[in-house]
Structure 1
């Protein structure tokens, strides 16, 4: 009887010693990630936590989320995040997991080989309508007299409420909604020489929120006088070109004609006529009743008569 009691105590002692050794592989040896928080700006939601440090080892993390549906209709079940399973960085972009404007909860665990930590849960639920909306980045420019504005593309949920006006006393403000960023948008036709100002705010309809207005930016339209002078100068030059070109061509043709093929005008005395040469003689003393004597002479007779007169 004494032997049996001693044997029982011995077996109990052995079991108490062996059980922790046998179950050592199942014991959680990693601390759970701490200080979970979500940083959300312009509908981009980033879950972060403190890293778990194991010297000489690379610790991975897995993320799960729970929405209103899981809490109400799926017995508080959890779903693994789309992009955050066995990741090495202590941060996870959970934007694609948050698809509705309801309260979400998140939990994270660390893993190292076959060992895992306990799940660490977000202290407060997160709703995407608490995201921080920043004032939009805006660029205004002119194209001729057209006022152009362009915004940074923030995604499909974002629109921009634009207010613009001509800078003068009691000027009426105009409002326009730009449906998408990333491309130029025409606002209005500007008056020559006038200055226009623009401001805008970000709008997200799915959470029924808007940002503050950004800083007002102004730009001046070009003056009309330089443009008008340029048009008049161009028109005058074109007219002079149309008039001067034919004149220049005609003048050059005349110069080329008389330079290359000059026309020689012979004196009347050297011109050859169809009839024999005519000699006209008129005495000086008979100026008033000058009689014209026409005598037809052959060249030999003319030469002989000239010799006699000379002698």
Structure 2
């Protein structure tokens, strides 16, 4: 009887084990898998070229699932004055790509720390942190793309527009006269840049480098490009001499022509009228004028008023 009971018990145990293995174990494995944390992103690095910064990392793989990532940064201010807080990068929140453009957030020349974590539904990985700090003045600067042209006797250059933070140092010289090399600093490269007026048939060379004032760094120089001016050198010299002579003659004759023209207009428009001698009235002598005045005064003194009786008496006397 005991042996039969023992056999039945073994059968029941085997049945229970079968049920557990075939029905409950898969569900238990699924539950344990959901609770298991995601691995943190690995191989975190930064690619920084020409003041554009990108954070990159290796993907976290979950079979049949799309893993997303979030990125945060911590600057000098956050470490020292904001309780070591972290700031999320909005453009890199829950993204599927394994690269994040952090250029706009790295706005000062200080040490930055960066971190990234993986997200899959309700699962969150630990933060994967960049080894060491990133400072933007370690960015790699490259020379600008450049095109050198000869428009007649004008030496022109076109430069790649690399953004408002960039300036360009341009060196140019006549080939074979490197000791007389000239330099020009430019910032606005939206249009073609005029460098110099070339001599006929002479060959000129140009090279350029980028410069970023905010980090006080320059790139290496670009490959030298050379162009040749058209025409014959002797004819060019003759043209220059004739132009100089014409300018000198014009500088000397123009003042004389201006003075002569002014005189002609003066006598044509406002002539000076001269009276003949016969029409001129001589001025009276001062002595005569004075004499006339004295006689008039004497006449004024001799005039006196006579009464009517005296006038009648004098008339009768003259009549008789």
TM-score with structure 2 length normalisation?
0.61
Q: How does 1:9-158 map to 2 (within 5 A)?
A: 27=35, 29-158=37-166
The whole-number CA distance in structure 1 between the counterparts of 2:43 and 2:66 is 20
1:86-131 alpha-carbon deviations (Å, 9 max, x no partner)? 1101100000010000000101010011111111111110000000
Measured after TM superposition, the shift of residue 178 of structure 1 is: 1.6
C-alpha contact (below 8 Å) 2:40/2:126 kept by paired residues: yes
Measured after TM superposition, the shift of residue 150 of structure 1 is: 1.1
1:185-210 alpha-carbon deviations (Å, 9 max, x no partner)? 11111111110000111100100100
What's the Cα RMSD here? Answer: 2.4
The whole-number CA distance in structure 1 between the counterparts of 2:52 and 2:120 is 29
Residue 96 of structure 1: SS of its match in structure 2? coil
The whole-number CA distance in structure 1 between the counterparts of 2:132 and 2:178 is 49
Question: Which consecutive unaligned segments of at least 5 residues does structure 1 have?
Answer: 1-19, 229-311
Q: What number of residue pairs does the alignment pair up?
A: 209
1:256-293 alpha-carbon deviations (Å, 9 max, x no partner)? xxxxxxxxxxxxxxxxxxxxxxxxxxxxxxxxxxxxxx
Greater fraction strand: 1
C-alpha contact (below 8 Å) 1:150/1:183 kept by paired residues: yes
The whole-number CA distance in structure 2 between the counterparts of 1:226 and 1:25 is 88
C-alpha contact (below 8 Å) 1:160/1:177 kept by paired residues: yes
Greater fraction helix: 2
The whole-number CA distance in structure 2 between the counterparts of 1:181 and 1:170 is 25
Measured after TM superposition, the shift of residue 169 of structure 1 is: 4.1
C-alpha contact (below 8 Å) 2:147/2:159 kept by paired residues: yes
Question: Which residue of the other structure, out of 162, 167, 170, is the alignment partner of 1:159?
Answer: 167
The whole-number CA distance in structure 2 between the counterparts of 1:52 and 1:121 is 15
1:129-151 alpha-carbon deviations (Å, 9 max, x no partner)? 00000122111112221111111
The equivalent residue for 1:220 is 228
